[in-house]
Amino acid sequence: MSNKKKIRVAIVDDHQLFRNGLKFIINSEPDIEVVIEASNGKEFLFYLENYHPDVVLMDINMPEMDGVETTRQALLKHPDLHILILSMYSDVEYYNTMIDLGVKGFILKDIDNNELTDAIRKVYAGGNYFSQELLLKLIKHKPENAGLELTKREKEVLELICKGYSNQQISEELFISQRTVERHRSSLLYKTNSKNSVSLVVFSIKNSLVKI
C-alpha cells in the first residue's frame, strides 16, 4: 500500500444528496479523500480551524453564509487554500467577484466523475480549472485588448497557464527554471492588469491571446 499523501478535500454544499454523491466519487479514488463535509459557510469555517483541506469544493448559494462570504473569510485566514467553485449556469453574476477573491476555477455541478477528479488534482498541483461551458459563458464580452504585445516566451508560458499547468509543470515543459516561470507570470499579470492566474486566463481567452 502506498504511503503517498492523499489530497484532502472539503465539500461545502447545502444539499446532502449532492454531497453524498461527490463524497462517494472522491473517496473511490486512491489519492483523494474527503476530510470536511459542511452544509453552509459557517459550518465549514468552524471545521476549517481543526482540519486542513488541500482543495475546497464550494457552492455559491447556501443558507447561513453563502459561498462568496465564506470564500472571502477562508482565504483571509488561509491564503493558500485551493477553492473550486461548484457552479450552476445561473451563478454567472458571481464569477468576477469570486475570481477577484482568488478562487482556482469553476466546475459545473453536473460534471462527470473523471473531470471532477482531474479538476481536483490540477488545482492541488498549483494550476487552475474551468469547465469548458462555463469558460465560454465568461468570455461573451467585448475584447479589452488594445495592442497588447507579448514576447514569444510569454506566449508559451501563457498558453500553459491557460491549460491549468502549475509553475513546476511549465518549468519542466519549457526547460526553464521555476523562478523564470514566475517572472513571466508576473509580467503577464502586469501587462493584462489581472489580479491572479484565473483572471489572467479569462482575459487571455476573451481577447483571443490563446485559443480554447
Q: Which amino acid is at 17?
A: L
Structure confidence by residue, pLDDT tens digits, 5-48: 899 999 999 999 999 999 999 999 999 999 999 999 999 999 99
Structure confidence by residue, pLDDT tens digits, 45-91: 999 989 999 999 999 999 889 999 999 999 999 999 999 999 886 66
Nine cell digits for residue 191: 501587462
Structure confidence by residue, pLDDT tens digits, 159-202: 999 888 999 999 999 999 999 999 999 999 999 989 898 889 88
Residue 1: per-residue pLDDT:
40
| 50 neighbors 98 (Cβ within 8 angstroms) | no
Q: Is residue 178 packed enough to be buried (19+ CB in 10 Å), middle (13-18) or exposed (0-12)?
A: middle
pTM of the model: 0.81
- Residue 83: which residues within 8 A CB-CB, separation 6 or more? 55, 56, 58, 71, 74, 75, 102, 103, 104
Domains in the chain: ranges and CATH: 7-138 (3.40.50.2300), 152-206 (1.10.10.10)
Residue 139: per-residue pLDDT:
67
Cα separation, 163 vs 143, whole angstroms = 20
Cα separation, 15 vs 36, whole angstroms = 15
